[in-house]
Amino acid sequence: MPLNQYTTFVHELDLIDKEHFNQADSDRLFIAVNAGVKGAMNPAQAFVRYQLMEAFIRIAKSKYHDSGICPDEALALEQLCEINLLPKVGQLNQQVLRKSTFWNQWVDNILKAYKPMFFNIYNKFGGTHRKPSQPMFMTCDELENLVMQAGLVNDTMMQRDISLFFKLSMMT
């Protein structure tokens, strides 16, 4: 999640206020969490899942614990979840997202057009960890190996490009 998406996300969750956690605090937090973490699966200037979780913990500490609203950090995180996260999660309908994003004619046409290529890639990189009686599947390690061998990830690649690739790969 790049900084712009993170900023939008923080605003949508109503985490920004003038007293305990402002936009400047949010930007500094993004930089602090992202600092020093480099690697093919950790794009520069963007969060991956564990960094987003760290950001939530730091926001909870800043917004609810350091301000004196909650006596300890665990309660501060619980407060963040109850006040900011859970009400918004209830508004999400994953099935609608699946239908609009993945189960549509455009994706179906792409999958049909490239089906032989996807099967060849899948057969080459997947199934090394399965038992003979199990159906074919690809583990995360196998998918990461595919991404690294294909040279699909570098420090300048955007997180959304990586996510799109993983989503398309998981659909085969």
Per-residue confidence (pLDDT) for residue 101, from 0 to 100: 80
Q: Are 26 and 7 in contact (CB under 8 A)?
A: yes
Same domain, 78 and 131: no
CA dist 167 → 10, 11, 14, 163, 164 (Å): 24, 26, 29, 6, 5
| Mean pLDDT, rounded, for 122-138 | 80
Q: Residue 145: give the domain boundaries.
A: 94-170
Residue 91 backbone phi and psi in degrees, to 5: -85, -10
Question: Per residue in 71-100, pLDDT tens?
Answer: 988 999 999 999 988 888 767 677 877 888
State the CATH number of the domain containing residue 83.
1.10.238
7 shares a domain with 83: yes
Answer yes or no: do 55 and 104 share one domain.
Answer: no
Q: What is the CA radius of gyration of the chain?
A: 20
From the list 14, 59, 10, the residue with the least C-alpha distance to 32 is 59
Which residue from 37, 84, 36, 98 is spatially nearest to 56, judged by alpha carbons? 84
Per-residue pLDDT tens digits for 158-170: 444 555 555 555 5
Q: What mean pLDDT is reported for the chain? A: 81
What proportion of the chain, given as a percentage, has pLDDT over 90? 24
Residues 77 and 143 in one domain: no
Q: Are residues 29 and 79 in the same domain?
A: yes
Residues 21 and 60 in one domain: yes
